[in-house]
Amino acid sequence: MTYLLTRWRMITTLKTSQNTEKVCFKCLELKPLSEFYKHAKMKDGTLNKCKSCTKLDVYNHRHFTHRDSVLAYDRVRAKQPNRIAQSKRIHERWKKKHPERRKAHILLGNAVRSGKVFKLPCQECGEEAEAHHPDYSRPLSVVWLCPVHHRQLHANHEKQNSTIF
């Protein structure tokens, strides 16, 4: 640990003669100051860990090292009145912005409840599924996917930015 810290300090003093670059103490890479979050209490006004290392640390904290406590905290926070009100505002905004999607969701829900359409298992893995509308103008024509495969489909769509939806 001492060697790493000494090496980091040495790299910092050698390579950062201008105030436009900084060495991340975690990955030891020299990066522009724009790659560091602002931090008013630090001498140069930026955090000593780059944005990508910080994001990785936060991800690991939330999903691995302290998952249970973070989920418990999120459940409590979601019940706060300001969070509930914000969630309602976001949902109302979505309904106004996407009336055709809302109509398709309502028509499909009614058809499932009345027995005209049956929920099927995921087409990929066979788990319990949710409906995906490839075309909102045909509200009862859906693809049944589990939440994992549904998210993957949307993530691939965002990457490719295609028009399959």
- The answer to whether residue 85 sits within a structural domain is no
Reading the chain (165 residues) residue by residue, the pLDDT tens digits are 445 555 556 555 445 556 789 999 999 999 999 999 999 999 999 999 999 999 999 999 999 999 999 999 999 999 999 999 999 999 999 999 999 999 999 999 999 999 999 999 999 999 999 999 999 999 999 999 999 999 999 998 887 775 544
Q: How far is CA 27 from the centre of its chain?
A: 23
The whole-model pTM stands at 0.64
- The answer to whether residue 57 sits within a structural domain is no
- The answer to whether residue 130 sits within a structural domain is yes
For the chain, what is the domain count?
Answer: 2
- The answer to whether residue 152 sits within a structural domain is yes
- The answer to whether residue 139 sits within a structural domain is yes
- The answer to whether residue 40 sits within a structural domain is yes
Domain that holds residue 142: 99-160
Residue 30: which residues within 8 A CB-CB, separation 6 or more?
11, 15, 16, 21, 22, 23
Structure tokens at 9: 């300090």
Q: Are 14 and 37 in contact (CB under 8 A)?
A: no
Residue 165 CA to residue 163 CA, distance in Å, equals: 5
